[in-house]
A = this chain, B = another copy of it.
Amino acid sequence: MTTTQPQEQLALSAPIDTPALVLDLDAVERNIDRMQTYCNNHDLDFRPHVKTHKLPEIAQLQLSAGAVGVTCQKLGEAAVMAKAGITDLLISFPLVGELKLQRLVELTEHARVSTVGDSALVARAISDALASKGRTVGFLVECDTGLGRAGVQTPNEAAALAEFVNGLPGLRFDGFMTHPTVMASGPWLLAAKSEAERRRVRVAKVSGGGTPTAYQTHLVKVITELRAGTYVFGDRACIANETVRLEDCAVRVAATVVSRPTRDRAILDAGSKALTTDPAYGASLDGHGLIVEYPDAEITALSEEHGHVDVSACERQPEIGELVTVIPNHVCACMNLYDEVLVHRHGRPEARWPVAARGKSQ
Contact = CB atoms under 8 A, between A and B. Distances in A.
A338 B359 contact: yes
B73 A304 contact: yes
A224 interface: no
Interface stretch (A24-32, A90-98, A239-247, A289-297): A90-98
A277 B276 contact: yes
A259 interface: yes
B15 A97 contact: yes
Contacts of A320: 96, 119, 121-122
Contacts of A99: 15-17
A19 interface: yes
Given A51-B304, A305-B73, A333 B153 contact: no
A333 B278 contact: no
A312 interface: no
A178 interface: no
Interface stretch (A37-45, A133-141, A196-204, A260-268): A260-268
Interface in A274-312: 274, 276-279, 303-306, 308
Contact of A18 (B17, B269, B273, B362): B362
A160 interface: no
A286 to B, nearest CB: 15
Listed from nearest, the 5 A-B pairs whose CB atoms lie closest are A150-B259, A17-B99, A17-B362, A94-B258, A96-B258
24 contacts: A15-B97, A15-B98, A15-B99, A16-B99, A17-B97, A18-B362, A93-B305, A94-B259, A96-B320, A96-B321, A97-B256, A97-B321, A150-B267, A150-B306, A151-B259, A152-B261, A274-B361, A304-B332, A304-B333, A336-B337, A337-B361, A338-B359, A338-B361, A359-B359
